[in-house]
Amino acid sequence: MDKSIRQTPTEGIMTKHTFHGGILILCALVPVQELAAQEPPSVWMPTIGAPQYFAVFVADADKSAQWYRTAFGLRELDRSAADDGSWQIVNLINDHLFVEIIRDNRVQNVARGRGFFKVGFHVPDVEAVADVVGRATGDRPRVLEFARYGVRIVQIRDPDGHIIQLFSRLGSSGRSDW
């Protein structure tokens, strides 16, 4: 393995050195003209079922794990940590969702963002979710309606400020193509 590549505790997450190298390898293997001339690929995953999954980098794994347990009704599956405390992983699950909470102090100087920008999920009724969040936190999030897309959305933030966007379909008055 190239000495510029450092792997984090979760498989497949590498530093920026790997990313740049991967782009160079991809460019060398597939000339741009070939990419443009190829037929579009068929759908890779025609059906996405439960459970869903996401991983998020956080500053405080215990605080974030508690927030995700409360927000999504998750239970702790397991946890692991380095003996020196440099990283910690907490895995949370329910029948529909698997969330991997990762705190890794070894990669703070790597030029990449923490967490994710935004992740979203369909829920039957965002108004009901907004009511529950409002009762739990004292601050009911605003529900926005996007008739053009046939959805209502509400956004909530975890303790690190990551956006969780929940949406519900508007019904017969909204878009019918999804």
Which of 12-16, 36-40, 98-102, 174-178 ranks highest by mean pLDDT? 98-102
The average pLDDT across 93-114 equals 77
* Gap between the terminal Cα atoms of the chain: 44
Buried b (16+ CB within 10 A) or exposed e, 119-153: eeeeeeebeebbeebeeeeeeebebeeeeeebbbb
The reported pLDDT for the residue numbered 29 is 43
**What's the domain range around 80?**
48-115
pLDDT in the model for residue 53? 82
Clarify whether residues 139 and 151 are in a common domain: yes
Same domain, yes or no: 138 and 175: yes
Q: Considering only CA atoms, which of 172, 170, 161, 171 is closest in space to residue 64?
A: 161
| Average confidence (pLDDT) over 43-49 | 62
Q: Residue 6 — pLDDT band, cuts 50, 70, 90?
A: very low
Residues 125 and 174 occupy one common structural domain: yes
Residue 118 in this model has a pLDDT that exceeds 80:
no
pLDDT band at 39 (very low <50, low <70, confident <90, very high): low
Question: What letter would DSSP give residue 28?
Answer: H
| DSSP state letters, 37-101 | HSPPPPPS-S---SSEEEEEE-S-HHHHHHHHHHHHT-EEEEEEE-TTSSEEEEEEE-SSEEEEE
Whether residue 13 is predicted with pLDDT greater than 80 in this model: the reply is no
Positive or negative torsion for Cα 57, 59, 61, 66? negative
- Per-residue confidence band for 38, with pLDDT thresholds at 50, 70 and 90: low
35 has pLDDT over 50? no
Q: Which of 6-15, 53-62, 84-93, 142-151 has the lowest mean pLDDT?
A: 6-15
Question: What CATH number has the domain bearing residue 138?
Answer: 3.10.180.10
Give me the pLDDT at residue 121, please: 84
Band the pLDDT of 63: cuts 50, 70, 90.
Answer: very high
Residues 98 and 59 reside in one and the same domain: yes
Residue 178 sits in the same domain as residue 138:
yes
6 located within any domain: no
Cα 29-110-71 angle, rounded to 5 deg: 100
Distance, C-alpha 168 to centroid of its chain:
19
Q: Are 134 and 106 contained in the same domain?
A: no
